[in-house]
Amino acid sequence: MALLCHCSRTHSAPTAALAFGPRYAQKNNTFVLRDRDRGRWRRRGVCAASSGDGGTRRPPPLRLTYLEGNSWLWEVSGTRVAVDPILVGNLDFGIPWLYDAAKKTLKNFRLEDLQELDCLLITQSLDDHCHMKTLKPLSKIYPDLCVVSTPNAEPILKDLFDEVIYIEPGQSTRLRGKNGSEIDIRASAGPILGPPWQRPENGTISKVSLADITGQRHIFEVFAVQSTREASRLTFLKLGYFIEAHDPKFILYYEPHCVYNKSLLEGQHADVIITPVIKQLLPAFTLVSGQEDAVELARLLNARFIVPMNNGDLESKGILSSILYTDGTMESFKALLSKALLDVQVLEPTPGLPLEVPIRSGQGSLASI
């Protein structure tokens, strides 16, 4: 399958500075992508997969396959999107003595099992989302794959994929699947966060993950960035993502840490939310939230369905895993939800098995977008 990735970038709010890589420039107020092999400029339109016969059977509006950890395969109106795949080797952030985790269920799931893909979505820049041991062979199998990513991941992705669209908060890109369906992916800013010992600088949004807690790793990364020319434009972005389908109309919201800024989500809407519901904590610090925060997220977005992800349910070892603990259960979350929001349904995914979300034509609402 060949992809002609001319992903459009639309703006719901003006942006002062855009984190484009060296392959991007502005011509006539339109961002375009340089063909690095021929030195030509190609206008950024729609990321479109090559058309096939497709058959006559209409795909389900939303089918979700949980691949454990933060990894997913989404089929949105037939458009196939791999999200933060970790399918080769363990998750260890390059420091296995500190943390080393393997999947419990899908031990034999391979990259080839993804079959055809229309897009790769990388939501964060560290190893639990942007997994180099997976992305390197994935780029060999799908060299023309259209990638949508946070700008933070550019140092990793720029040498792997030719067609990468970096979106910042308030920006979106449109994808067209091989069956002709179109979906929009829009980035939404999260809260200002940082390592527990460090106050974030003004104007930056920092992402916290397991690697940040180590101190040594975080300091190394900061000094490594400061030694490059690109240091001035790199920030740590904590993003959520809205996925908007058009036929039928519905909106999916993805927040893999259940950490969000209420004021930035007020007045927005999602029919389906994918987020953790079981908290993951270190002493005096929350890595992943859930429970009452997941209930509040459903209330803020007026959601109809919550698809919980248990991204901490891994076979882990190392120093960090010995002090990492959870708070809450699926049952306690359901109890909280039933008291607060009677009309919201919980759809629990089984790793490796497709879950069809019962979206029907006419249910979705785009009034808040």
Q: Which token pair is 184? A: 């929009």
Q: Which token pair is 5? A: 């990735």
User: Quick check: is 18 in a domain?
Assistant: no
User: Quick check: is 126 in a domain?
Assistant: yes
User: Quick check: is 16 in a domain?
Assistant: no
In whole angstroms, give the CA distance from residue 136 to residue 159.
9
In whole angstroms, give the CA distance from residue 235 to residue 321.
28
Element (H, E) at 362: none
Give just the sign of the alpha carbon dihedral 58, 62, 67, 73.
Answer: positive
In whole angstroms, give the CA distance from residue 270 to residue 242.
8
Element (H, E) at 221: helix 216-226
Domain interval for residue 101: 3-11+24-49+59-356
CATH number, domain with residue 314: 3.60.15.10
In whole angstroms, give the CA distance from residue 329 to residue 320.
21
Long-range CB contact pairs, 131-135, < 8 A, 24+: 131/84, 131/85, 131/86, 131/88, 131/91, 132/156, 133/88, 133/89, 134/85, 134/86, 134/87, 134/88, 134/89, 135/85, 135/160
**pLDDT (0 to 100) of residue 264:** 87
Mean pLDDT for back-to-back runs of 10 residues, the chain (369 residues): 39 33 35 33 42 61 96 95 96 94 94 92 93 96 93 93 92 89 88 40 25 34 30 50 92 94 91 97 91 97 97 94 95 97 96 93 42
Q: Which token pair is 207? A: 């992402």
Element (H, E) at 217: helix 216-226
Query: Which amino acid, 78?
Result: G
User: Quick check: is 368 in a domain?
Assistant: no
In whole angstroms, give the CA distance from residue 351 to residue 356.
13
User: Quick check: is 230 in a domain?
Assistant: yes
User: Quick check: is 32 in a domain?
Assistant: yes
User: Quick check: is 110 in a domain?
Assistant: yes
* CB neighbour list of residue 268: distance below 8 Å, 6 or more residues apart: 188, 242, 300, 301, 368, 369
User: Quick check: is 90 in a domain?
Assistant: yes
**pLDDT (0 to 100) of residue 247:** 84
Q: Which residue bears the tokens 């879950």?
A: 355
Q: Kindly give the residue spans of alpha helices, DSSP state H, lying in 142-181.
A: 154-157
The total number of structural domains in the chain stands at: 1
- Evaluate whether 67 touches 310 at the Cβ level (below 8 Å): no
Q: Which token pair is 50? A: 């090559």
